[in-house]
Structure 1
Amino acid sequence: MASPNTPAPPNAAASPNPSDSPNPSDSPNPPASPNIEAILASYAGFRDRDIEGILSGMHPDVEWVHPEGMGKYGLGGTKLGHAGIKEFLAHVPTVLGGMRLAPREFIEQGDRVVVFGTREVTSLRGTTATLDFVHSWTMRDGKATRMEDIFDTVAFHELIES
């Protein structure tokens, strides 16, 4: 099992990332699809706190969507393009003390990839909680054109305010 700071390889439906095996030729599963590889690159960017790494798997005109219920904290709504994502990510530390993503399961169908995972979130006051997420990715030519973050906004509000 991957640590909370490391993306887990995709499940059998999506095929493991060959770089997770010491010798990819020893792996019984084929390499991950280009779509999943792009998404894994973005998750690695989050892990490494590398904004350019995050954006590497995203189309320049990507839609970055978070629940409207997070608007109270400036974390809701749709951000457009790499500039919108950079602005969003620059705002996050004013609301949260930290966050680590742990994607667990990848399901791919056509141009859609749905990722189930958890995130370890720390409030500005130091309270930490592990919260579930679902990321719905829409892909085109190996780049994300839309990423929608779906999660329990009530639990997130409680953590932020704790």
Structure 2
Amino acid sequence: MSIEKNIETVKDFFAAMGSDDPQDLLALVAEDIEWIIPGQDWALAGTHRGHAGVAAVIRQASQEIEMTYPTPPEFVAQGDRVLVIGVATGRIKATNMPFHDEWIFDITVRNGKLTKIKEYIDTQALARASAVSGPGNPGTTPDDGSDLRAS
């Protein structure tokens, strides 16, 4: 496939992530896709495989995160790889904590389908925004406005 077609496929994938129909998204990924989200102490971190893994991580993300993209991402491609460079801002719903995430997605496209996604994201910013107060954590402010920090 041409580089231009690979970029269009990736753009379609990003558009489909905001869709209410998961089939729009799954139609763009290979059956054996591997999606790697790095990090620890963050619910979305891990390696997600196949259509079931992609559907699960998208569903979980929509339940846990409110996110916007203040500027359109940049697409850089060579061969079957497309790098998507962008910025996301938002909040983690459970903690009501905001985050700012500068990210890169390294995406492999073969035969018109995404076969591998590896994210390079600010996992620490997302883990901090996701953290609930406890030993070693100074606390967060939950949705009800009460302060969880120890006095």
Please tell me the TM-score bracket, short chain as reference: 0.7 to 0.9
Map of 1:10 onto structure 2:
none
Q: Please report the RMSD computed on the Cα atoms of aligned residues, expressed in angstroms.
A: 2.0
Contact 2:32 2:50 (C-alpha < 8 Å) held by counterparts: yes
Contact 1:38 1:57 (C-alpha < 8 Å) held by counterparts: yes
Map of 1:110 onto structure 2:
79
Q: Of residues 66, 78, 81 in structure 1, which corresponds to 2:50?
A: 81
Q: Give the SS at the match of 1:114.
A: strand
Q: Give the SS at the match of 2:117.
A: strand
Paired with 1:42 and 1:111, the residues of 2 have a C-alpha distance of 15
Q: Give the SS at the match of 1:64.
A: strand
1:128-147 maps to which residues of 2 (within 5 A)?
Answer: 128-147=98-117
1:6-155 maps to which residues of 2 (within 5 A)?
Answer: 33-67=4-38, 69-70=39-40, 72-93=41-62, 96-101=64-69, 103-124=72-93, 125-155=95-125
Question: Residues 129 and 49 from structure 1, CA distance in 2 versus in 1: closer, same or farther, beyond 3 angstroms?
Answer: farther
Gaps spanning 5+ residues in structure 2: where?
Answer: 132-139, 141-151
Deviations 1:73-102 (A, max 9, x none): 3312211111111122222345x2412345
Contact 1:41 1:56 (C-alpha < 8 Å) held by counterparts: no
Q: Is 132-141 or 114-123 further displaced after alignment?
A: 114-123
TM-score, normalization: structure 1?
0.70
Deviation at 1:154, TM superposition (A): 1.0
Larger gyration radius, structure 1 or structure 2: 2
Contact 1:38 1:56 (C-alpha < 8 Å) held by counterparts: no
After superposing on structure 2, the runs of 4+ consecutive aligned residues of structure 1 that deviate more than 3 Å are 100-103
Question: Residues 74 and 130 from structure 1, CA distance in 2 versus in 1: closer, same or farther, beyond 3 angstroms?
Answer: closer
Map of 2:134 onto structure 1:
none
Count residues in correspondence: 128
Q: Which protein is richer in helix relative to its size? A: 1
Deviation at 1:103, TM superposition (A): 4.6
